[in-house]
Structure 1
Amino acid sequence: MTAARIYLVRHGETEANRREIVQGQLDTHLNESGIEQAALVSEALQKISFDEGYSSDLSRASKTAEMILECHPRVQLRKQSGLRERHLGSLQGQTHARKRAFGSINSDPTAEKADAFVTRSLSWWENSVRRHIETLPERAMPYHILVVSHGGFISTLIKNLLAKKRIAKVVSVDDWRCYNCSVSIIDIRKDGKAELVQYSDISHLGNSKVVESNADTEDK
């Protein structure tokens, strides 16, 4: 039986997204389109009875989470630095084209190493989700947990959970891009076994255009 359903939401659009500028851990803010997207995902999740809410402590993620939780006033938002995007060193503030031309991010001594980023994302899952679920009182209905983070973090977390067989994939994923205000869902049981049941869904955004490139996504 599913003990908890985890809703992983990417933050809304920023001007850096629109202009294809690498953000990493720069503290950028939602633009007008990002606010609109956050309102749409909030509406889509309005009827979910969230029990807990987490977000990256960067403004674009925490603002998105705050807008979603306006419909869930009893849920206290917990902002965590562990949910931040990968720090991309000297490339932060540069263009996506410059990032592509740069080569391996690992060659930049000021950037967070890929293996360190993977370790951080998996540690967050282990401590804030898997072990936490074990401590929750059993009940007939699953707990619903909101997590708002970043494109690189969400895609890296899910791909590595799958690679390490910590979760199973029950939904086909052909495109690993994680769109602004997309919703990915993982169901987890009390024993820690989990399944990816939805990835980067943006059907709730309707005709709203999303930025298809993810300047701050890097999982190599």
Structure 2
Amino acid sequence: MQLFKYYLEYNKTYPYFIDHMNWGTALSKEITKNITFEKGRFFTLLVETADLEKMYDFRHGGILPQNKPLKSHPTFVQCKYVPLPRIIETEVCNYVFDFLSEQSERIVIFEDFELRPYDKNLEKEGLQLSIHNDEVYYIASSGVRKESVDSAVFSTQSAWHSVMVMANKISNLPKNLTQKDFQNICENVSQIATTAYDGEGFVFWEK
């Protein structure tokens, strides 16, 4: 299903975006300190049938086309409909893969906000696992297989928090990340994506 790019007004988008980033990992917080977001643009990727009247309602779902209504609930009014499954994430996997495939020395860093270094079975095929203190990151590099990108996008998404950072001119990062590495990422950031619309989509910032 084709996605369409909609540029977002800065003043309507920045408060949500910065709040989301500030709830993130050390990398997210380093980004908020070192990047001047006014020098870039915010946008979102949506299907043609998305409800554009809800485009700035970043904290709630219902922007995607809906499956048949469920039985109405007197309290949870907003839970009457179920969005079509993972439309946006599937296409964003293609978007991220295309970014990595367009040229060498590109990486995408995925925050996994829910995992910790002591958790079991952290390794993912085709992805580098990196750690910073008690934080877990997955890194996809140019030349990665599409299946590994899919795994990273789907496994690190949650309705309430996720961040993907796309950077140029970086071919690899160490397994133990430092603040210097984060500063290097900030200097070479191309795009940043945060989850939005209660997990139904993303807000992007591009330099």
TM-score (norm 1): 0.31
TM-score (norm 2): 0.32
Q: Which has the higher strand share?
A: 2
Higher relative contact order (CA 8 A, sep 6+): 1
